[in-house]
Every structure is written in C-alpha cells, then in structure tokens.
Amino acid sequence: LAKKTKVFTIPSIEVTSKNNIDILGYFYNTQDLIDFWRKEIKKRVRRNRFFNLNRTTLNVNGIISRIREYGGVSALTHPFLPKIFIVFKNPKDSSFLLTRKKFINKVDIVEFHPHMIDYFSNFQDRITRLKKPMITGSDSHNVSTFKAFTGVRTFDRDEFLEAILKKKNIIL
C-alpha cells in the first residue's frame, strides 16, 4: 500500500493469547513482521470455528517477549472495555477485565478502542496515571468505529513509533 500511494503504514499484527488477551505488535520494518509471523505465530495459531482471530497457544508474556525479540513494540488493546463487550470473548471468565489490567505494565503502549471514546470519558486519566503511552485508531475493524487517530509530526516510520514511546503523539 505504501509503495502505491502516499499513505504512511506501520507493519503490525494483532495476536490473541491462549487466555483471549489481544496484543498488537508494531514493527519497524515489514521483514521483521513477516519473520515474527512465520517463525513465532503461524505454528501456534489455534483452529477457530467462527473467526480467524490469530488465537495462539502462547500466553501474553510469551507474545510480548517474542514481539520484542523481533525489534517490535507491544500494545495492549482496549483494556477498559465494559463487561458487555467482554462477554463475546469468554462469558464464563468473570476475571477477564482484571486479567487485562494486570498486563498494562508489561506492554509498551496501551491502545483504546475508538468507539469507546464517548463511553469512557475518564479513560485518558486512567492511562495518564499509569504513565503509559496511549494510541487509538489502529484496532478499528470497520469504518463505523474509526472515530479517532494517533498523530505524530513525521512521515518516517521509526520516528513515528519512537514518538509514541516517548509520549510525543496526540489523539485526534
């Protein structure tokens, strides 16, 4: 896409742990993402009857450490979703939300789901207190939830990721 247009892209993947926690991996180059997928994830993806969500046999720590081995940056997706959205993941697991929160300190970045902006007005306060970089927009699965973007003043992939890690980005 980036070669055919002037769109700025970052190689990335969403991987689901064995206990249904989604982790995003952002990479500085496409080859690292391809190697990560082929060597670490592809052989560990579980069969899924409904959707291919890249659910793996790895735990969250395993996913995060493998992303870092390939020079990538890890992000926890929408950790403060209300229970109504969590039921889809695993309705028998009442500790799901608490499980997600305990991984916030392990990842590099926290991503919140764009359609939750209006629902959780205090989300940014929570993340600020945790002193974690925050992003949005990357995990939208359709146009209707694409309400916000992560902005950085650069057209360079490395500078973009580094600015986020240094909390020099803005949410638009």
Query: Residue 144: what pLDDT?
Result: 61
Which residues, at least 6 apart from 116, have a Cβ–Cβ distance to it below 8 Å? 78, 80, 81, 123
Please list the pLDDT of the chain residue by residue as tens digits (172 residues).
556 766 778 999 999 888 778 899 999 999 999 999 999 999 999 876 565 566 899 999 999 999 999 999 999 887 665 544 443 444 444 444 445 567 878 899 988 765 555 444 555 566 566 678 888 866 666 666 666 678 888 888 899 999 999 999 887 7
Token couple for 126: 């929570």
Torsion angle defined by CA atoms of residues 120, 125, 126 and 129, in that order, rounded to the nearest 10 degrees: 180
Query: Residue 108: what pLDDT?
Result: 94
Query: Residue 7: what pLDDT?
Result: 73
pTM: 0.79
